[in-house]
């Protein structure tokens, strides 16, 4: 079964356009986990209104407290990059 980690989808809610892309494997090794690769994608995307949802390396495995999904966004008030994470099955 091929790995699905590193495959992302960009959805433009204004136009309904969908773009699928793979992230460079070197970036996946450098920015581990949902928060790391999510921040890289967010900053590289140059879209202040984006919402990046990225799962962690162990999402889907029965590893207590390690199955996280990160949501990254830019605060409209301060302009600071923020992150929230959720655990469990998603």
What does the alpha-carbon distance between residue 13 and residue 84 come to, in Å, rounded to a whole number?
21
Model's pTM, two decimal places?
0.77
Please tell me the distance from the alpha carbon of residue 35 to that of residue 65, in angstroms, as a whole number. Answer: 15
Q: So what's the pLDDT on residue 65?
A: 76
Provide the token pair at 40. 């890289």
Token readout for 81 is: 């990059």
> In this predicted structure, what is the pLDDT of residue 5?
67
Q: Quick one: pLDDT band at residue 89, thresholds 50, 70, 90?
A: low
CA distance 59 to 49: 26
Residues 5-37 have pLDDT tens digits of 678 888 888 898 999 988 888 888 888 888 888
The SS3 call for residue 33 is: helix
71: its two tokens: 């949501």
Q: What's the rounded mean pLDDT across residues 54-80?
A: 84
């Amino acid at each position: 079964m091929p790995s699905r980690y590193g495959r992302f989808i960009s959805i433009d809610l204004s136009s309904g356009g969908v773009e699928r892309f793979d992230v460079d494997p070197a970036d996946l090794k450098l920015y581990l986990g949902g928060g790391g690769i999510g921040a890289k994608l967010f900053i590289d995307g140059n879209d202040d209104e984006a919402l990046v949802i990225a799962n962690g390396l162990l999402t889907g495995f029965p590893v207590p407290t390690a199955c996280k999904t990160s949501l990254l966004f830019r605060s409209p008030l301060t302009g600071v990059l923020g992150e929230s994470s959720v655990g469990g099955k998603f």
